[in-house]
Amino acid sequence: MWGVSIFRELNIEFSNFIMSSFEFESGRILKDVNVEYSTMGFPKYDEDGNITNAIVFCPTLKGERSVLANLHNALTMDNISNDDEFAFIRDKKYFFIRIVSLGSPESCSPSTTDLKHNFPNYTFRDCVNFKKQFLKEKFNLDSVLAIVGEGVGGCEVFTWACEYPDYMEFILSMNNLAKLSGTSYIFFKSMESVLESNDKIYSDVYDPSLSKLVVAVNKMLFLNYLSRNMLSNLSRDELDALLDNFVEDGLFRDVHDLKYLCDCLLEYDVNDKLSNIKAKTILIAIEGQFLVNVEKEVLPLENAIDDVEVMVIQLDEGEFDNGESYSSVFKIFSFLNEYGVE
């Protein structure tokens, strides 16, 4: 359990913020919109009172199985005061802002608003505008130092950099592309069919059969978190144990939240806008991921973005599960020391 002193040393805070309204690209407006967020580190200000060292983290669905989530875990270890790997936090150089996305249950979503199937359809541009509005209203931010994301969060990073290229100096996207890969597109089209196979999803009264639908979809989503090496090397008993644990962790997800996210992903494509990106770009690819072909889908991005660096990393088999190996995390965030503020 994290000690109070660690929270104080890192200045970690968790909170919610209510925006009076939010307008979707479709024109629909929701009132009293909740945003869940957390911060870590210490803000620095220029002479006009503007925060200059903000780094926005766009989370994915993986929770503790997220590689970038391991950074947060690592930074809250008791040895932070003595480990040089943590210097960029200990020296108070950066102010991290983690914002839970539009459509996620902790923020404004179909389930938390109780709108269910009547929730407005949203795009990743809506997700970006949601966070931009929050950053302006809560922190008076019109720009940030960097935006970081993994998986679904990486879709927001790409969209943000393409649509608002002057908003940030750096971006880091991990295990993500500027549009769905062919494999991912078929995967989410299949997920869409599974979700739409139960007409109760469009009912105003919740039906218990929808819980079974959530289990089925979570089993499909599990493929996103395995490498080909793990699929080849783990026994069926080991795979069953991992799958059962993942499904259990995902039982809190609402079927409507999953449906709207699936629809959003199927519309995602900023590939023809990559030339808009002005930010220094770091792309992290995980070797052997099931839904992403590094050689054919990630490496070609080197020719599509002006100032880009592509890193390909190999994760240990247990790294997604126990969070004990942080070697890849430090590789990912070494760019902060190289390109960050003084």
DSSP state of 23: E
- C-alpha 84 chain-centroid distance: 27
User: What is the average per-residue pLDDT within 315-341?
Assistant: 52
Separation between Cα atoms, residue 181 and residue 187, nearest integer Å: 10
What's the mean pLDDT when you consider all of the chain? 83
Q: Look up the pTM and report it.
A: 0.87
Residue 240: its pLDDT value, please?
92
User: What is the average per-residue pLDDT within 142-159?
Assistant: 93
Residue 166 token pair? 């002057």
- Secondary structure of residue 305 in the 3-state scheme: coil
How big is the chain, counted in residues?
A: 342
pLDDT digit string (tens) for 86-141?
A: 555 555 678 889 999 999 988 999 999 999 999 999 999 999 999 999 999 999 99
> How would DSSP label each residue in 74-105?
HHTSGGGGT-GGGHHHHTT--EEEEEPPTTST
Confidence of residue 333 (pLDDT cuts 50, 70, 90): low
pLDDT digit string (tens) for 47-61?
A: 999 999 999 999 876
Residue 267 pLDDT > 50:
yes
Separation between Cα atoms, residue 210 and residue 215, nearest integer Å: 9
Phi, psi of 241 (to 5 degrees): -65, -45
Residue 323 pLDDT > 50:
no
- Would you list the domain boundaries of the chain? 4-179+268-339
Separation between Cα atoms, residue 96 and residue 107, nearest integer Å: 18
User: What is the average per-residue pLDDT within 270-284?
Assistant: 95
User: What is the average per-residue pLDDT within 307-316?
Assistant: 80
What top-level class would CATH report for the domain 4-179+268-339?
Answer: alpha beta
pLDDT digit string (tens) for 66-94?
A: 555 555 555 544 444 455 555 555 556 78
Confidence of residue 260 (pLDDT cuts 50, 70, 90): very high
pLDDT digit string (tens) for 195-248?
A: 999 999 999 888 889 999 999 999 998 887 777 777 788 899 988 998 898 888
Segment (H or E) for 148 = strand 144-150
